[in-house]
Amino acid sequence: MSPDSKKTFRLDGREIPFREGQTVFDAAMAAGVYIPHLCHNPDFEPHSSCRLCTVIVNGRPFASCTQPAVAGQDVRSDTPELNEMRRDLTDMLLVEGNHYCPACEKSGSCRLQATAYALGLQDSHFPQLFPHRDVDASHPDIILDRDRCILCGLCVRISRSVDKKNVFTMTGRGIATTIVVDSPSGLLADSKVSRDDEAVQHCPVGALMMKGEAFKVPIGQRPYDRAPINEDSVARFRAREAALHG
């Protein structure tokens, strides 16, 4: 870190150093403090839609993934109230779709499932909404199962900014929001998507998956079978920070 980076803010009583332009979230994770999150992936532009990363800054709630770090501010994150809200948000994402973890190919590498575990969410409290959403299995390599989509918008952002293909967009609104695919028929098979697209690699749940690869890593040896998501996320974040800024 450069010498002018002595700025800090307080997070749950601990001093967190940050660089100018960093968000509360980025600084906290780089300092080894896990803030639960689902729609954010530090390699891509933040979106602030899942709201799991909500923290209290100087008494007011903000999404930490988009909130700029400011010297001297007081941030609360690991509080019983906030963790309960995060559990409720995770629960909401589970009941909003049709999730069947025990039978899901993504089990063990799904960030939604792992986050639920990390937050101590034992079972669903809210009633299931049982939406009717289409599965698109038309593509030879890729499957889009909207039932498991949590509308994090990562595929939309990545396809636009990294793959430069703009394959995914959202349509509908409110509870009827769904992913649409850009092609004349609206099907993946007729779109420009291909197996090496970044957009397909980063889906946090089992909504966008490669066909035929689901069980390459056996259940029990998958990332979140080995280590809880908080450790894994923080480790990845620190490695990334070290690579970027030494």
Partner 1 sequence: MWREEAPPAMDELRGILESHERDPGELLQILIKAQHAYHYIPDEAVALIADHLRVTRAHVRGLVGFYSFLSDTYLGEYVVYLSDNITDRMQGSTGLATYLCNRLNVTLGQTRQDGRVSVHFTSCTGMCDQGPAGLVNGVAVTRLTRLRMDLIAELINARQPLDAWPRELFLVEDNFRRSDVMFRRAFDPGAALKAAMLRGGDETLKEIQHEESVDPSSGHARRQGADETLKELYRSDLRGRGGAGFKAAIKWETCRDISALERYVVCNADEGEPGTFKDRVLLTTYTDVVFEGMTICGYVIGASRGILYIRQEYWYLKSHLEAVLARRREADLLGRNILGSGFAFDIDIHWGAGAYIAGMETALIESIEGRRAKPRKRWPLPVVAGLNRRPTVVNNVETFAAAANIALKGGAWFAGHGTSHSAGTKLFCVSGDCERPGIYEYPYGVSVREVLRDCGGLDAQAVQISGPSGVTISRLEFDRNLAFEDLSTVGTCMIFGPQRDMFEVVRNFAHFFRHESCGLCTPCRVGTSLLAALVEKVAAGKGSPMDVAEVQRISQLLKTTAHCGLGQTAPNHLIDSLLKFRGDWDKRMMTTEFVPAFDLDAALHEARQLTGRDDALAHL
Residue 40 interface partner, choices ligand FES, ligand SF4, partner 1, none, CB cut-off 5-8 Å depending on type: ligand FES
Footprint on residues 118-177 left by partner 1 (CB under 8 A): 126-127, 129, 150-151, 166-177
Residue for token pair 């906290």: 28
Give CA angle at 212 (207, 213), nearest 5°.
75
Query: Is position 111 an interface residue for ligand FES (rule: CB under 6 A)?
Result: no
Among 26, 36, 40, 48, contact with partner 1 (rule: CB under 8 A): 48
**How deeply is 101 buried, as exposed, middle or buried, from its count of CB atoms within 10 A (0-12, 13-18, 19+)?**
middle
Interaction mask 195-234, partner 1, x per CB under 8 A: ----------------------------------------
* CB neighbour list of residue 197: distance below 8 Å, 6 or more residues apart: 158, 159, 163, 165, 167
Please, which residues bridge with residue 74 across strands? Answer: 10
Residue for token pair 């025990």: 102
Query: Is position 156 an interface residue for ligand FES (rule: CB under 6 A)?
Result: no
The alpha carbons of the chain give a radius of gyration, in whole angstroms, of 19
Among 28, 42, 48, 234, contact with ligand FES (rule: CB under 6 A): 48
Footprint on residues 14-33 left by ligand SF4 (CB under 6 A): none
Distance CA 169, CA 153 (A): 8
Stretch of 46-54, 133-141, 190-198, 214-222 contacting ligand FES, by CB under 6 A: 46-54
Distance CA 45, CA 119 (A): 25
Among 22, 33, 40, 157, contact with ligand FES (rule: CB under 6 A): 40
Give CA angle at 42 (7, 97), nearest 5°.
130
Q: How far is the CB of 177 from ligand FES (least distance, A)?
A: 15
Residue 128 interface partner, choices ligand SF4, ligand FES, partner 1, none, CB cut-off 5-8 Å depending on type: none
Spatial CA neighbour of 18 closest among 82, 72, 78 = 72
Query: Is position 83 an interface residue for partner 1 (rule: CB under 8 A)?
Result: no
List residues near ligand FES by CB under 6 A: 37-40, 48-53, 63, 65
Task: Catalog residues that contact ligand SF4 under the rule CB under 6 A.
Answer: 149-155, 179, 203-205, 207-208
